[in-house]
Amino acid sequence: MSDVIGYLGPGGLHGGLHGAECIGGAAGYIDRQVLTLKHVYQWPTAMTTYRSSAYDPEGILGTLTSIFTVWLGVQTGLTLQVYPKHRSRLLRWAAWAVVLGAIGAALCGGKETGGPIPLNKNLWSLSFVFVLCCFALILLMALYVSIDMLKIWSGSPFFEPGMNSILLYIGHSVANEMLPWHFKFKTMNTHIKRLVESLWGTSLWAVYAIYLYHKKFFWSL
């Protein structure tokens, strides 16, 4: 399947390709050449659904776009430190959102699976970074107005998990294959089934975090 030019899908059974190694695009190819197949993540999400080969979402190229995402987040945080007024903060966040959204839309052609650089979370493609940060800023502005300015919402049930984020992260890493967080239908090879399982597990951890918050139990480093 190495001769499929421009293919950006998950490989394996996707689109009738039947090529397990056809995964990750240029990012996957570079990782396999530089790190070798044995030194990349062996169980990507595409393996279960599409029977694809090993692929590391945190590979060499993916790390570069991840660093860029962090940099954009730092600029967002600096706005809080440098500009004390609500209006100044919101105007700058809105400007960032418009610019990033426009660039992201241009890169993906305004389509879910189109454009010169399609949206792809596993590849952490550049278009995904721009679109992700655009919507993240819009969400941040909505939360900032409702929680910090108008004070009509406390942030619950999202505030409490943030107070014990390390505990929840470690707990999920240990118990993600256990009941009641994890369960299986007869098969788990569709996106909707995995979405239901993920939402269920996330909701259980949120309830647990709320309980710990009311017990004044916080685990931090």
Q: Per-residue confidence of the chain (221 residues) as pLDDT tens digits?
A: 444 455 666 676 776 766 667 777 778 888 888 998 888 888 887 777 777 788 888 889 889 999 999 999 999 999 999 999 999 999 999 999 999 999 999 999 998 888 888 898 888 999 999 999 999 999 999 999 999 999 999 888 999 999 999 999 999 989 888 888 887 666 766 778 888 888 999 999 999 999 999 999 999 87
Asked whether 58 and 67 are in contact (CB, 8 A), the reply is: no
The four Cα atoms 30, 60, 173, 196 give a dihedral, to 10 degrees, of -70
Residue 220 domain flag:
no
Last residue of a domain, one of 149, 179, 196: 149
Same domain, 90 and 64: yes
Residue 105 domain flag:
yes
Asked whether 82 and 89 are in contact (CB, 8 A), the reply is: no
Same domain, 189 and 122: no
Last residue of a domain, one of 114, 149, 184: 149
Give the residue numbers spanning the domain of 137. 60-149
Q: Which two tokens stand for residue 31?
A: 């990782």
DSSP 43: -
